[in-house]
Amino acid sequence: MSSSRLILTPFSVEVDGVRVDILEVMKLTYPNDYKMYIVSCRIRYKGITSRIFPLFVKNEQDLFNKLKVEVTKVKFLELAYGLDEVRRVIS
């Protein structure tokens, strides 16, 4: 017997100390039974809310890996150019 989880969107997760909102998840099934998901996300970083962006993921672990990459991009942007540039680029 298998168990599955039901999580209703929208919900928030914390990735590397940054809040990420998961707004919508859409499942895609291809003819060869390959499954992929389109996840609509937004990052909340130091009082700045990003635009909504999609991520194409295979599973939950792939989602968290890609979210870590996106959060790291925002942190590097702040480190290199400052918080004003982060605000300009992501919102």
| Domain-wise residue ranges, the chain | 11-90
Confidence label for 1 from pLDDT (cuts 50, 70 and 90): very low
Q: Quote the DSSP letter at residue 91.
A: -
In terms of Cα–Cα distance, which of 32, 28, 17, 23 is closest to 50?
Answer: 23
Contact between residue 25 and residue 36 where contact means Cβ atoms under 8 Å apart: no
The C-alpha atoms of residue 61 and residue 80 are separated, in whole angstroms, by 29
The per-residue pLDDT for range 25-83, each reduced to its tens digit, is: 999 988 898 899 999 999 999 999 999 999 999 999 999 999 999 999 999 999 999 99
The position carrying tokens 């989880």 is 5
The C-alpha atoms of residue 17 and residue 38 are separated, in whole angstroms, by 23
